[in-house]
Amino acid sequence: MKNFLLLLVMMFFLLPAALKAESYPLSFVDSGNQQITLNKPPQRVVSLVPSVTEILLRIGAAEVVSGITYHSQLPPESGDKAVVGGFFRPDLERVASLKPDTIFYSSLQQGVVARFGATATLIRLAPRSIAESFAQIALLGRMFHREEQAEEVIAEEQRRLELIAAKIRTIPQQDHLRVMRLMGRDQVMTPGDDSFQQEFIRAAGGIPPTFGKSGTIVPVELSEWQAFNPQVLYGCGNDRTIMSLLEEPGWREVEAVQNRRIYFFPCELTCRAATQSGYFVSWLAARLYRQQFGEPAAFVLPQQVVAEKPLDLDLDYVREAGVVESDIKDFRNRTLVVRLKTPMAVLSTLEGPRSGITTVLNHYFPPPSWGLGHNQGLEALRRETLEVLGLEKEKSAALFTGADIDNLAVARESFKAMEVTALVTAGVSSNAVRMGHDSGAFYEPDQEEKSTPGTINVLLFTNMELSSRAMSRALITATEAKAAALQELDIRSSYSPLVSQATGTGTDNIIVVQGRGYPIDASGGHTKMGELIARAVYKGVQEAIRRQNGLAAQRSIFQRLKERRLDLQQLCRLRAPEQAGALHQRVERILLEPRYSDFIKATLALSDQYEQGLLEETSAFSSWAQSLAAEIAGGGFSVLDQRGLEQLPRMLGLGMAAIFTGAELSAGIPGQ
């Protein structure tokens, strides 16, 4: 670990300086050992590699990116990039239509070199280590004149890695855990010994397996599995297919399975050495050593405020507002703090009615902190947070959130002299529910108090003085507006995504501030105050979700299917095991066409209506699906084949059958 950190420090300080000293033409050797020389910065870039896309957008080079794959996670302001297909089988004709001068590609992508070798600069950047990823971030910074931004990214990730290394040193070597990255579907697999993913484990204080195998992904034999006996397993995303294998004799006896220490993280963190390596290592280490990291003996940094930036609220009774950054339990927290000129009442869904409040806050603690905070309980979390921020408990009304305050949405609505401001944080990727449909697992008499971070949090301010009645009614108005915002974005329940839109998340909270000004006694749906509250909350929730999760109404069909946990690759394997790759490529090509992607989007909407009992007769839709399948097939169509789609809701199954049947016939893939 010491040598590893020394190498990172050297890479950080020496490489950017060397690159900045070099002027164009810029020469370097890429990950494919190709000598690349650029005479000027690329102007039209297609990035077929999500990790490179992530770096380019993070360092502020979004304007040169023309095309991406749908596997790229995009910040909301970059949602206008042309999608050229998926990572494994991008549509090279769509790439060509963008006339790129530079293409970042992977060795897994067949045909790129043959198709574009003579017309574009082809660059492979595939880091095999964290240090190499930092070098490539610095290189891209130099390539696009974003040296300072690249250095800032490297410095932040380096800070996180050094912090975790210092915390790990407080844990005795004999207490370090055996950790395996879990991969595969039909068999257990893991990254090879030379993968950066094994380096992630080491940097987090874990002991990865050493099977003497190299490569991105390698098979694990039962004897190897049992000999290593992992104490912790982790995977990525929502795919739990491999879990059924871990219930089989021989596989289920290892400590990780017996103790249920199997975790899942976002794939963009586990599978990439890009701009969030330090962040993921922090999160993984905190999961591995939750108990130790929560003890003061493991703290490296003083618990204190480290920065503050102002926020203009423009309300007469607000003394000042801003976002405060603090280090708590060694992780960087952010708090929206609104200080009032005089004490007033608030109504909080977390704390109930409060009076004499001079500070209202929404506190974000990041994922590495979640387990640490949950263990201490809500009251202890509140006390510690206020202590670090220097606030009095009796005069402060607080909400807690797992949605980053950096993604705060400020929504204002007005009518004549009346104004409403909603400050909203929101995240819907893992905690969304449909009330009245999904089950709740928390039964309070049987469980100890735990802190629950809010996922959609709203602070409501007006330039009027709300009565107790108006404050109470505002909760209903705001909640209805939040549900409408989620419905119109088609946010899916995390627990029943195939059939249910979400109405909220399981941990939403609101604070309504009394305010000062003209007295208001009504805030329902027929009042102007209610209308303004609803409009502000509606707008704020949608904007906060866009910032936090990158979800907007006009997102791709691939994203919409992913939210329903529909895996196109898996469906292709079920329908055509021997030609799954060819079928997947054909289906992707079809869904890149607006005519067919919009058909599936319409299918999704109709499927929800059918499942809710609002539609009964499906013959007209079935005829539409059959005609579309015949169109895709180009003739020779007889009947929709729903093979492998039986688990889908009826109308969704019909719509997907149209795409798959047409795809198979047009590609010459026989049915079964």
pLDDT at residue number 371: 75
Question: What are residue 338's DSSP bridge partners?
Answer: 321, 360
Question: What are 344's strand-pairing partners?
Answer: 357
The pair of structure tokens assigned to 33 is 């050992």
3-state secondary structure of 631: helix
Whether the CB-CB separation of 515 and 463 falls below 8 Å is answered with yes
pLDDT at 373: 53
CB 575 within 8 A of CB 439: no
Half-sphere exposure of 468 (CA within 13 A, CB side): 4
Cα separation, 164 vs 280, whole angstroms = 11
Amino acid at 464: M
Let me know: does 343 contact 395? Beta carbons within 8 Å.
Answer: yes
CA distance 146 to 51: 17
CA distance 469 to 47: 55
Q: What is the pLDDT of residue 346?
A: 98
Residues 6+ apart with CB under 8 A from 75: 57, 62, 550
Q: CA geometry: angle at 140 spanning 138 and 143, to 5°?
A: 115
525 closest CA partner among 481, 577, 569:
481
- Cβ pair 48, 108 in contact under 8 A: no
Q: Within 13 A of 442's CA, how many CA atoms are on the CB side?
A: 8
The pTM of the full predicted model, rounded to 2 decimals, is 0.90
β-strand partners of 459: 423, 511
Q: Could you list the mean pLDDT of each consecutive 10-residue stretch along the chain, which spans 672 residues?
A: 48 46 82 95 96 94 93 66 91 96 93 94 95 96 96 97 96 96 92 95 97 94 97 88 89 95 93 94 96 90 96 95 96 97 97 97 93 72 95 97 95 97 94 85 49 76 98 98 97 94 94 97 97 98 94 92 93 92 94 96 96 93 95 85 92 96 90 57
Where on the phi/psi map is residue 572: left (φ > 0), alpha (ψ -120 to 50), or beta?
Answer: alpha
Strands 179-181 and 189-190: unpaired
pLDDT at 9: 45
Rounded Cα distance between 18 and 24, Å, is 13
Q: What is the CA radius of gyration of the chain?
A: 27
What is the SS3 assignment for 79-138? CCCEECCCCCCCCHHHHHHCCCCEEECCCCCCCHHHHHCCCCEEECCCCCCHHHHHHHHH
DSSP, res 406 = G
pLDDT at position 12, please? Answer: 45
Question: If DSSP codes are grouped into helix, strand and coil, which group holds residue 183?
Answer: strand
CA separation for the pair 37, 92 (Å, rounded): 24
Pick the closest to residue 524 from 580, 489, 479 (CA basis): 479
